[in-house]
Amino acid sequence: MLPLPILALAVASFGIGTTEFVIMGLLPEVAQSFGVTIPQAGYLVSGYAMGVVIGAPLVAIATARLPRKTALLALMAVFIVGNLGCALAPSYGLLMAARIVTAFAHGAFFGIGAVVARDLVPRERRTQAVALMFTGLTLANVLGVPLGTALGQEAGWRSTFWAVVAIGLAAACAIQVCVPAGLPGTRGRLVSEFRALGRWPVLRPMLISILSSVSFFTVFTYITPFLTTISGFTPQGVTGVLFAAGVGLTLGNLAGGHFADRGQMATIICSILGIVAVLLILAMVAYHPIATVAALVLWSGLAFALVSPLQIWVVEAASDAPNLASTLNQGAFNLGNATGAWIGGTALTLGAGYGELSVMAAVVSLIGLGLTLTAVSRSARAFGRSHPSPSA
Domains and CATH numbers, the chain: 4-386 (1.20.1250.20)
Q: How far is CA 380 from the centre of its chain?
A: 30
**For 288-334, how does the pLDDT look when each residue is reduced to its tens digit (9 = 90+)?**
999 999 999 999 999 999 998 998 888 888 776 777 778 888 888 87
Interior CA angle at 171 toward 313 and 140, to 5°?
Answer: 60
Does the pLDDT value for residue 392 go beyond 60? no
More confident residue, 12 or 46: 12
pTM: 0.78
**For 104-120, how does the pLDDT look when each residue is reduced to its tens digit (9 = 90+)?**
888 888 888 888 888 77
Predicted confidence band of residue 158 (pLDDT cuts 50, 70, 90)? very high
Tell me, what's the pLDDT at 15?
A: 93
Average of per-residue pLDDT values in the chain: 85
Predicted confidence band of residue 376 (pLDDT cuts 50, 70, 90)? confident
Interior CA angle at 222 toward 26 and 46, to 5°?
Answer: 80
The rounded distance, in Å, linking the Cα atoms of 233 and 23 is 18
Q: Are 358 and 235 in contact (CB under 8 A)?
A: no
Among 322, 270, 331, 275, residue whose Cα is nearest residue 48: 331
Does the pLDDT value for residue 203 go beyond 80? yes
Tell me, what's the pLDDT at 391?
A: 44
* The residue type at 50: M
The percentage of residues in the chain with a pLDDT greater than 70, rounded to a whole number, is 90
Tell me, what's the pLDDT at 178?
A: 86
More confident residue, 113 or 365: 365
Tell me, what's the pLDDT at 379?
A: 59
**For 68-84, how does the pLDDT look when each residue is reduced to its tens digit (9 = 90+)?**
888 899 999 999 999 99
131-151 residues labelled b (16+ CB within 10 A) or e (exposed): bbbbbbbbbbbbbbbbbbbbb
Q: Are 271 and 256 in contact (CB under 8 A)?
A: yes
More confident residue, 75 or 134: 75
Q: Are 73 and 114 in contact (CB under 8 A)?
A: no
The rounded distance, in Å, linking the Cα atoms of 175 and 14 is 13
